[in-house]
Structure 1
Amino acid sequence: MKELPILVLLYSAVLLSSAAPVLEPVTCSEDSRAAMARLAMFHINEHHDHGYKFKLNEIQGNKVEKADNGCNVELLLDLLETKCHVVNPQHFEDCELRRVDEREVMANCTVMMTVKNSDAKVTKYDCDTRQVKTNMEMMMICPDCPTLISLDSPEGIKSVNEGVKKFNQNTTNQRYYILQEVGRISSAYMMATGMSYFAEFALVETHCPMGSRIIPEACKPLCPDRAHHAVCSSSYSSTDGLQSVECEFYPPSNSTTLGPGEQGPGECRHRGRPSHAGGHGHHRHTHGHGHRPNASSHEHHQHAGGHGHHRNTSSHGRHPDASGRGPPPHAGGRGPPPHDAGQRQDRKVGPPFNSYHRLKPFLSCHGFRTNFDPALHPICPWPHSETNPDPKLSQS
């Protein structure tokens, strides 16, 4: 008999710093290079509303042209993707970078800014986001490491849906959660279990109370600043199914009580991701005892971190409301998966995940057609185009 995944809850009392970082003044002098780059990084992460936060790796160059009462600046920056999803309130400068065996992602960015009367602002940026190592290079360095695959890979999405279904069997949650975004999916062949899939995905709390008869995928998300969010990692094998799910929770950025006549859940006055400039508490939640490959071995037992943990273990069967028929990946999918996730294709991408339009085609980067790796979330050009290539997408 197939053993059901074990549910283990780990609650952590770790708090993230609530102090807002202070930006240094930006001037037109050569000594202001670092301050210019830091301002650019704040701006990029503030407008990067899908995938993962980035942090500065290196300043490749800068050009300053004098102008009336100031200057115009062009910065060439190398960035590295962190492990912090954009719903994670942790400040990007404190986020951990990925290791080589975790498939590092980089972005080369050209950033334009103006400095006038001691007031600096970013006016434009454009980035090329890609994996640091190609699949061929990784095969030479680490043949056992998993390979990043397309974010709409059918088997990968199946593993995500199973993870969401198992997550919603957690009776300690007050409400059901739905898939907000798939962050990344990797795969590797393992002798004992065949093809294995390792996914990272973000969930958002809905208005549906836990135990209600409505199926979770029909539930509406709470307003972004009022909703709990979770970022999960799962492991899944083609022969044994879901192996484990480990999640980290983030509380709402706005915990104030709604006053008389104010908008209630699901009636968001302003759509968009929560502001996480400050810090919030978080806790971890783990399902199962799966294995994830690393650079040295095909199989590696997962252990959840954190401090001040409380453990509670139980097993679960199939939940009557957790059908696993979640919303289409990335709000509708992004076309057929390529044979090699390392190959870059001309693909249409669009509204960020924070709009929560789960049944609309996923068009990241606001409708731009860009060449990018379908296994990644690219940094979109800014300012964004206001032109919508498909008028049907503007209908709710």
Structure 2
Amino acid sequence: MKGFHIVVLLSSAVLRVSAAPAPELVTCGEEGGPAAARLAMHRINENHDHGYKFRLQKIQSHGVEKVDGGCNLELQLNLLETVCYNINPKPFEDCQIRGEAERAVMANCTVQFSIRNNDANLTKYECDTRQVKTNQEMMMLCPDCPMLVPLNSVDGLKSVKEAVSKFNQNTTNQHYYILKEVGRIRVGHVLGLGMHYYTEFELVETHCPMGSRINPEACQPLCPDRAHHAFCQSSYSNATGLKSVACDFYPPSNTTALGPGEQEPLCRHHGGGHPPHVGHGHGPPLSPYSPWWRWPSSP
């Protein structure tokens, strides 16, 4: 296959580590809004293990209901999606916001706090997420920019499957990896070369040693805190097949060595490649474009 290359970028940072917010007083006055918004952003990003991190764009509104001993605070927040996947240990404040040409995504969130005796507790949040500009608007602004397609796109998932297979040919890995979830699929037409698919997806390390004869898709992932994870980007052409795969690796947070004869523990996992299950009554319907399109309504 012409032009194929695979890039592995190693990260020594610990998985899912983010900077804790400095202690900051959230009050019932107008000045308490920014502090509450910052606290909410940390909680929102820390409480979700799917999709991409978000950054605060602005506080849309700030309402206060006085009660005995304090108040109930409600904020309407506008957020913008970053390019950092949830497994990236970089603090969300340092993550780059996704560019408009890459089909930027925004979220409108309702956040509620209970403040009693200067103690602020985030009691509920609910977010609606959508593209900043519709596909029709983007066609007017940038007709050649690839567009987002649903995560169940047959050709898009075919390209992901080929990328995972190529990834597992990397003999420097100790174990096979399997797909945990797809973050994005974009598609665009290249003149003379047909449709190109650009995908972003997360992989998780399994129990199966590299080189074993088992089909990697049948392997069970290691427990989340003991598994290496990888975030990958691939490009694929309908005409020429897989073009490239580039991955960032993130090490496990639990590096405790197993004792003599001790086996790796077995853990329950969400199914790979699918949006997480979210119960009824928690917000708008899931969009097929992102695994993090609907968020739970409680922290």
Q: TM-score under structure 2 normalisation?
A: 0.91
2:282 maps to 1:374: no
Alignment partner of 2:270 out of 331, 356, 360: 356
| Aligned residue runs from structure 1 range 131-170, under 5 A | 131-170=131-170
2:187 maps to 1:187: yes
Q: Secondary structure at 1:161's aligned position in 2? A: helix
Q: Once the 2 structures are TM-superposed, how far is the Cα of residue 259 of structure 1 from its aligned partner?
A: 5.4
Q: Once the 2 structures are TM-superposed, how far is the Cα of residue 375 of structure 1 from its aligned partner?
A: 1.1
Q: Give CA deviations for 1:82-109 in whole Å, capped at 9, x if unaligned.
A: 1111111211111111001011000001
Tell me how far apart the structure 2 counterparts of residues 88 and 12 of structure 1 sit (CA, whole Å).
9
2:281 maps to 1:383: no
Query: Does the 8 Å CA contact 1:48/1:379 hold for their aligned counterparts?
Result: no
| Aligned residue runs from structure 1 range 115-130, under 5 A | 115-130=115-130
Gap change, CA 1:141 and 1:4, over 3 Å in 2: closer
Q: Once the 2 structures are TM-superposed, how far is the Cα of residue 3 of structure 1 from its aligned partner?
A: 2.8
Query: Does the 8 Å CA contact 1:23/1:39 hold for their aligned counterparts?
Result: no
2:5 alignment partner in structure 1: 6
Report the number of matched residues.
Answer: 296
Q: Secondary structure at 2:284's aligned position in 1? A: strand
Gap change, CA 1:87 and 1:10, over 3 Å in 2: closer
1:322 alignment partner in structure 2: none
Counterpart AA for 2:270? Y
Tell me how far apart the structure 2 counterparts of residues 25 and 69 of structure 1 sit (CA, whole Å).
16
Q: Once the 2 structures are TM-superposed, how far is the Cα of residue 65 of structure 1 from its aligned partner?
A: 1.2
List runs of 5+ in structure 1 lacking aligned partners: 272-354, 385-396
Q: Once the 2 structures are TM-superposed, how far is the Cα of residue 378 of structure 1 from its aligned partner?
A: 0.9
Q: Give CA deviations for 1:330-364 in whole Å, capped at 9, x if unaligned.
A: xxxxxxxxxxxxxxxxxxxxxxxxx33349x7554
Q: Once the 2 structures are TM-superposed, how far is the Cα of residue 252 of structure 1 from its aligned partner?
A: 0.6
| Aligned residue runs from structure 1 range 50-89, under 5 A | 50-89=50-89
Tell me how far apart the structure 1 counterparts of residues 49 and 176 of structure 2 sit (CA, whole Å).
23
Q: Secondary structure at 2:143's aligned position in 1? A: coil
Q: Secondary structure at 2:256's aligned position in 1? A: coil
Q: Once the 2 structures are TM-superposed, how far is the Cα of residue 69 of structure 1 from its aligned partner?
A: 1.2
Q: Secondary structure at 1:370's aligned position in 2? A: coil
2:196 maps to 1:228: no
Query: Does the 8 Å CA contact 2:2/2:243 hold for their aligned counterparts?
Result: no
Query: Does the 8 Å CA contact 1:64/1:72 hold for their aligned counterparts?
Result: yes
- Percent identical across equivalent pairs? 58
Q: Once the 2 structures are TM-superposed, how far is the Cα of residue 230 of structure 1 from its aligned partner?
A: 0.4
Tell me how far apart the structure 2 counterparts of residues 267 and 24 of structure 1 sit (CA, whole Å).
40
Q: Secondary structure at 1:83's aligned position in 2? A: strand
Query: Does the 8 Å CA contact 2:230/2:247 hold for their aligned counterparts?
Result: yes
Q: Give CA deviations for 1:114-168 in whole Å, capped at 9, x if unaligned.
A: 0112211111111110000001110111111000000110000000000100000
2:278 alignment partner in structure 1: 365
Gap change, CA 1:26 and 1:181, over 3 Å in 2: same
Query: Does the 8 Å CA contact 2:62/2:74 hold for their aligned counterparts?
Result: yes
1:265 alignment partner in structure 2: 264
List runs of 5+ in structure 2 lacking aligned partners: none
Tell me how far apart the structure 2 counterparts of residues 134 and 102 of structure 1 sit (CA, whole Å).
12
Gap change, CA 1:207 and 1:372, over 3 Å in 2: closer
Gap change, CA 1:230 and 1:61, over 3 Å in 2: same
Q: Secondary structure at 1:89's aligned position in 2? A: coil
Q: Once the 2 structures are TM-superposed, how far is the Cα of residue 215 of structure 1 from its aligned partner?
A: 0.9
Gap change, CA 1:175 and 1:78, over 3 Å in 2: same
Gap change, CA 1:122 and 1:229, over 3 Å in 2: same
Counterpart AA for 1:190? V
Q: Once the 2 structures are TM-superposed, how far is the Cα of residue 9 of structure 1 from its aligned partner?
A: 4.4
1:201 alignment partner in structure 2: 201
Q: TM-score under structure 1 normalisation?
A: 0.70
Counterpart AA for 1:373? S
1:292 alignment partner in structure 2: none
